[in-house]
Structure 1
Amino acid sequence: MRLPLVACLAWGILASPLAHAVEPPASSAAKPWMLNLRYRHEHVDDDAFARPAEADTLRVRGSLAHRFSPRWTGFIEAEGVAELNDRFNSTANGQAAYPVVADARALEINQAWLDWAGERAAARVGRQAIILDNARFIGNVAWRQNMQTFDAAQLKLKPTKALELQAIYLDRVHRVNGDEARDPLARERRLRAPLLRVSHAVPGGSLVGYGYWIEDRDVASASTRTLGLRWSASRVLSKDWKGGLVLERAQQAPWADANGGSAAYMLVEPRLERGSLVLKAGWERLGAGRARAFQTPLATLHAFNGWADKFLATPANGLRDTYVSAQGGLEIGSRKGKWEVAFHEFRGARGNLRYGSELDASLGVTLRPGLDVLAKLAHYRSDGFARDTDKLWLQVEWTP
């Protein structure tokens, strides 16, 4: 990694009188060791292919953490993914006649970082998972068997109780396709990407301003500068109900050697909550500019715009996603679980374009502590964009 400037800057601030206790960056290890096994069956019936995919994969992940002192912690995590059959295109097995299920075989170091935590500052350097806000722009894609990580340095400062500043430099992204993907650009990308995020607590919520200057050194046309503002808040409406609202606005323009016009992002998402029940409605718009649309390639994309993953890249005419969802808890005997349903209608951001609609549903149950099962489905119906697609997942995850 080429991080001397960031490392020197971080050390200079940490050594100053400001360095006194903030939460360390997300994903700090809570246990000295961890083992996790996850088996998944994924069925994909995409009308663009003659045969459906039937993917069986197994992930094994183990980690070790060591606290050298009250302020210094080291962490290493290894991960292996096995393809248990070849009736799917993993991006590494050459089975192009099947739909893609991006859970390719892998054996790699997933994370390896060093933490320093003071009273008003914290820093992390190394390979790490990073999630910013709701993961719409920067995320770890934890849904896939091989999650996304970054070679990066990050620094958090908390000068007051209400104010938090976060500075990050991304040197490389290790993508979910893993090191065995046949396309080198699907394995990893070299970056020059300083990120800045400032969060301030406001009554009932928070106000976040951010700037992401992402230069993709492997695909120059993918380089972007994104500046945005996100406000989220909630308030008690009655004895049983609580309401909330998220508003977000961002502007994206070409950066470094990229060309094209700028494009806007907008999100409006009200919600109602009663105990474990959460009802949401939303309107998300990824706009289209001259020769390019608003893109979020480093996001946890599976969490947005439908689980069928038809919009991992924003279409040239942009995307409007109007959606409603409900989720909540349940009890089956002594076992607890979670359920979720959502409906999306997709249109273009410009022109009178109809893309399609999607229905999603999931049910997860904890059979006993550390042992979870999940059933999940996505039902996409095309109205001119891509082809009809149905997906079904059955998953068992065990953490001893």
Structure 2
Amino acid sequence: MKLSFTLKMLLLSVLVWLPLETAWAQLYLTPQVRPRAEWRNGYQSLPNGQDGAFFVSQRSRITLDYKQDKVQTRFSLQDVRVWGDEAHLKDVPSTAMHEAWGELALSDKFAVRLGRQEFVYNNDRLLGNVDWVQQARSHDGLLLKARWQGISVDAGGAFNQEKEALFDTHYSMNNYKVLGFLWAQKQLGDQLSVSAMHISDGFQRPDTVGGVYFRHTYGLDLTYQRERLQFNGSLYRQSGEHGSGKKIAAYLAVAEAAYTYQPFRFTLGTTYLSGMAGQERKVHSFNTLYATNHKYYGFMDYFINVPADTRQGGLLNTYLKTTFSPKPRYSISLDYHYFALAKNLHASETHAGTNNRYLGSELDAVLQYKHSDQIQFSVGYSNLFAGRSMAAIKPGDASAYADWGWVMVNIQPRILLKSFEKE
């Protein structure tokens, strides 16, 4: 009921105001219903003798987009739940604001966007919206955009506080306190594009009121495409201060080649995330920040929080991906991942050590069917073949059969509510 009332008030206020405008404008409404049934028996963590889990989760989202001359706005409300997680006849408020921003074009080259928004860059490798997760990720911040002569530059930032305080700015939540980034992209001819990014995020020091640990991540992404071949490469370095107070010296390297021969596409690549062994003077484990790791490190999500999911040991992820699209509406993909630690792990009070870096292999199969622009169906099944060293970073039995399956329906029409031109 609360969602319905809020939406009605929002629509009413916009529709009443729109006729007063004389400039070209458009108003779109995009409702989304996305239920997903999952079977989990080794998803994110090794099986431990317990029965597998089955449930249905659902995202119900409604997005209102308005564009008029130099002004754009978006309001996106969502409810995320597991079927049956509320008792009947109970009023449990659960609606959240996923996005709420306004954008003003200062000229034909510059614009500014303010409010709650998604930051998505370079195919989600360090900044992504994690759309696979029903809640998804958004930020409360500011974004400056510039576009001229084939160059794109974005500068964004955020400053988080948990309440309206009278004094001090101490931040106790487990988020960044400060975020700033600069992204630039240039197309060099028809085949080569290059982008550079610098991200700085700051976290509250636990022993001070205003002190912040700052971490810096910076690097380049290259994409070269020629007819059926495509090459991608990334190299990032990480420096600054870790939450432990140690200095950071870590890096990320990516090399990938793809070949398309319709109806097939083959992708071979490797990703290396540096790690550390034992109590070193510096932190050498690379953190993937606010990425959509689900799309890179296996769909069973064993490495969502890198480096915590490797006990700071780093990760080597070598993969071969095949996609078969016999018809425009159908696609079948099969991905293979080879996982290994970047460094050997020493024993701790709670985990065993290992000198065998091989963690295991994963197979991910996905069938997608696009019934229309409004309705899509997806089915997936994954297997993890864990090596003995996986038990050093994940609790459970590495020899047990680990699988995960899911079925998802995405119903998402885009409705034009109002459109008119300048009188």
Q: Which has the higher contact order (CA 8 A, sep 6+)?
A: 2
Look up the match of 1:273.
Answer: 260
Gaps of 5+ in 1: 1-28, 87-91, 94-104, 175-183, 237-241
Look up the match of 1:231.
Answer: 222
Q: 1:283 to 1:277 in 2, by over 3 A?
A: same
Farther off after superposition, 121-130 or 139-148: 121-130
Deviation digits for residues 107-134 of structure 1 (CA, Å, limit 9, x no counterpart):
2011000012331122211101121111
Q: CA deviation at 1:226?
A: 0.6
Structure 1 segment 171-190 matched on structure 2, within 5 A = 171-172=159-160, 189-190=175-176
Q: 1:295 aligns with which of 263, 287, 296?
A: 287
- Helix, strand or coil for the counterpart of 1:148? coil
Q: CA deviation at 1:170?
A: 2.9
Structure 1 segment 51-130 matched on structure 2, within 5 A = 51-67=51-67, 69-85=68-84, 106-117=94-105, 118-130=107-119
Look up the match of 2:36.
Answer: 40
Q: CA deviation at 1:206?
A: 0.8
Q: TM-score, normalised by structure 2?
A: 0.73
Q: CA deviation at 1:259?
A: 1.9
- Helix, strand or coil for the counterpart of 2:294? helix
Look up the match of 2:338.
Answer: 345
Look up the match of 1:50.
Answer: 50
Look up the match of 1:318.
Answer: 314
The residue type equivalent to 1:398 in the other structure is I
Q: TM-score, normalised by structure 1?
A: 0.77
Q: CA deviation at 1:347?
A: 0.7
Q: CA deviation at 1:190?
A: 4.1
Q: CA–CA distance in 2 between the matches of 1:30 and 1:344?
A: 45
Q: 1:173 to 1:60 in 2, by over 3 A?
A: farther
- Helix, strand or coil for the counterpart of 2:329? strand
- Helix, strand or coil for the counterpart of 1:119? coil
Q: Percent identity?
A: 20
The residue type equivalent to 2:128 in the other structure is G
Q: CA–CA distance in 2 between the matches of 1:248 and 1:173?
A: 33
Look up the match of 1:249.
Answer: 235
Instruction: Tell whether the 8 Å contact from 1:115 to 1:125 is kept in structure 2 after alignment.
Output: yes
Where does structure 1 differ by over 4 angstroms across 4 or more consecutive aligned residues?
218-223
- Helix, strand or coil for the counterpart of 2:141? strand
The residue type equivalent to 1:259 in the other structure is K
Instruction: Tell whether the 8 Å contact from 1:42 to 1:392 is kept in structure 2 after alignment.
Output: yes
- Helix, strand or coil for the counterpart of 2:108? coil
Q: 1:393 aligns with which of 401, 406, 415?
A: 406
Q: CA–CA distance in 1 between the matches of 2:255 and 2:176?
A: 33
Q: CA–CA distance in 2 between the matches of 1:66 and 1:222?
A: 39
Q: CA–CA distance in 2 between the matches of 1:245 and 1:271?
A: 6
Q: Does residue 1:148 correspond to 2:137, yes or no?
A: yes
Gaps of 5+ in 2: 1-24, 88-92, 163-171, 277-281, 345-355, 414-423
Q: Does residue 1:357 correspond to 2:353, yes or no?
A: no
Q: CA deviation at 1:305?
A: 0.8
Q: Does residue 1:207 correspond to 2:194, yes or no?
A: yes
Instruction: Tell whether the 8 Å contact from 2:377 to 2:409 is kept in structure 1 after alignment.
Output: yes
Q: CA–CA distance in 1 between the matches of 2:264 and 2:111?
A: 35
Instruction: Tell whether the 8 Å contact from 1:59 to 1:145 is kept in structure 2 after alignment.
Output: yes
Q: Does residue 1:367 correspond to 2:371, yes or no?
A: yes
Instruction: Tell whether the 8 Å contact from 2:381 to 2:403 is kept in structure 1 after alignment.
Output: yes
Q: CA deviation at 1:31?
A: 5.6
Look up the match of 1:164.
Answer: 152
The residue type equivalent to 1:327 in the other structure is T
Q: 1:399 to 1:218 in 2, by over 3 A?
A: farther
Q: CA–CA distance in 1 between the matches of 2:149 and 2:156?
A: 20
Look up the match of 1:304.
Answer: 296
Query: Across the two proteins, how many residue pairs are aligned to each other?
Result: 335
